[in-house]
Amino acid sequence: MKFTPLKTLAASAVLCALTSTAYAATAAKIGDTEFTYGGYIKLDSMWSDYSAGAPAGSDVGRDFYVPSTLTVGDDNSSDAVFDMHARESRFNFGTATVMDNGKTVNTKIEIDFLASAAGGNERVSNSYAPRIRHAFVTYDGWLFGQTWSNFQNVGALPEALDFIGPAEGTVFVRQTQVKYTTGAWSFSLENPESTITTFDNKAGVMAVTDDASLPDFTARYTHKADWGNLVVAALARQLTYKVGAIDADETSFGVSASGMVKLGEDNFKFMLTQGKGLGRYVGVNVAHGAVLNGDDLDAIDSTSGFVAYQHKWNSQWRSTFLYSFFSADNNTDLLAISGDPTESSQSYSANILYSPVKRLTFGAELKHAERETESGVDGDLDRLQFSVKYSF
């Protein structure tokens, strides 16, 4: 068996196009199949000051910024905490096989360790179970498996130390799908899921339902030019709640425009998303898709977006300045059912990144975030984060 090391390959670019991993190396070629691997090791250390008390240590918002976990309430409950972890570290493996008809079948699987409750603890082992990020196969314009939603533009995400960055302002979903791409157009049928606010014990709680009779549908157009790119995507989905005698459904629509503009060595990235019942698709589910009102669903309208400017100071130093926002148009007539949902969330951040060599980056980032509920109760977070990342 002969292993042949290879250099830059088009297949490697295809396999990495749907992830945020910056590099992929070709490990070997066996017959007609090329094998690639990539990923990175990342250390994150964070000092976080919550105005209304810190979430529990096991809360996902302690690992990275999740708007819905930002506590609100009495400012006298200010609480500062320090966390360190390497859970964002990831690994991916892919193949590219030339078939008898001359076309190529690509595969990719990627894992990391974030947002996985199973595993050890921080007292002794700090071990965490891996989770699937991507697992898909592509052939002749078709993609089958799990990866970023076609409604999301990963290329618009700015470079940030936080895992997501503009968390409340971006579409951010990975899920199983069937996607077809032809030229600048792509269309997908994706796994449906609904998050519904229900009334329980005098408070609105989230119910996660998987009762939809149709997949979520997306359509997307990508325009590329010398100045950058522009992506416009549309989403149509069915919100459902089928529990006991209740059989409720509602149609949801959304549209998102995003892109990147080159400014010499610098760049400007942006996204604006508006829709009815978008729920889990935006803001890491900072708002639910709909409120259960008797036997009917009342979809929640929302608007979200972000702007980010990256400046390169020189070949080794760069900075990203970011503003992100989310706003929900809650039906105030239903507050007796929905409780006190999030009305708005926003965050500002700025970082400084230093890469002494191409794949090694040291960084510091300062983030200020705010969340306010429909009743006017609010809370904020100030976070100073330091990271070290090596991509391979």
d(CA 111, CA 90): 6
Determine the pLDDT at residue 8. 34
Give, for all 392 residues of the chain, the pLDDT tens digit: 333 333 333 334 333 444 444 567 767 888 889 999 999 999 999 999 999 999 998 899 999 999 999 999 977 778 999 999 999 999 999 999 999 999 999 999 999 999 876 667 888 888 889 999 999 999 999 999 999 999 999 999 999 999 999 999 999 999 999 999 999 999 999 999 999 999 875 567 889 999 899 999 999 999 999 999 999 999 999 999 999 889 999 999 999 999 999 999 999 999 999 999 999 999 999 999 999 999 999 999 999 999 999 999 999 999 999 999 999 999 999 988 888 999 999 999 999 999 999 999 999 999 999 999 999 999 999 999 999 999 99
Cα separation values, 42 from 84, 91, 337, 392, Å: 11, 11, 42, 11
Q: Phi and psi of 63, rounded to 5°? A: -85, -35
Please check whether residue 297 is in contact with residue 291, taking contact to mean a CB–CB distance below 8 angstroms: yes
Q: Which residue type occupies 224?
A: K
Please check whether residue 331 is in contact with residue 323, taking contact to mean a CB–CB distance below 8 angstroms: no
- CA dihedral for 204, 206, 207, 213, sign (positive or negative): positive
Question: 317 forms bridges with which residues in the sheet?
Answer: 354
Structure tokens at 97: 């096989």
Determine the pLDDT at residue 117. 66
| CA-closest candidate to residue 285, choices 350, 342, 324, 361 | 342
- What ranges in the chain are assigned the alpha helix state H? 10-16, 335-338
d(CA 339, CA 202): 8
Task: Measure CA 251 to chain center.
Answer: 23
d(CA 213, CA 192): 9
Question: 371 forms bridges with which residues in the sheet?
Answer: 345, 379
d(CA 9, CA 38): 14
Structure tokens at 325: 């926002």
List, edge to edge, every strand of the sheet that includes 296-299: 203-209, 194-200, 290-293, 296-299
Q: Give the start-end residues of each E strand in 183-215.
A: 185-190, 194-200, 203-209
First to last CA, the chain: 25
SS3 280: helix
Cα separation values, 391 from 24, 125, 360, Å: 9, 24, 7
Structure tokens at 213: 């009779």
Q: In terms of pTM, does the model score above 0.85?
A: yes
Tell me the pairing of strands 104-112 and 90-98: antiparallel
Residue identified by tokens 């991916």 is 92
Q: How many residues does the chain have?
A: 392
According to DSSP, residue 281 is labeled: G
Structure tokens at 112: 């990391």
d(CA 72, CA 51): 8
Structure tokens at 383: 């976070």
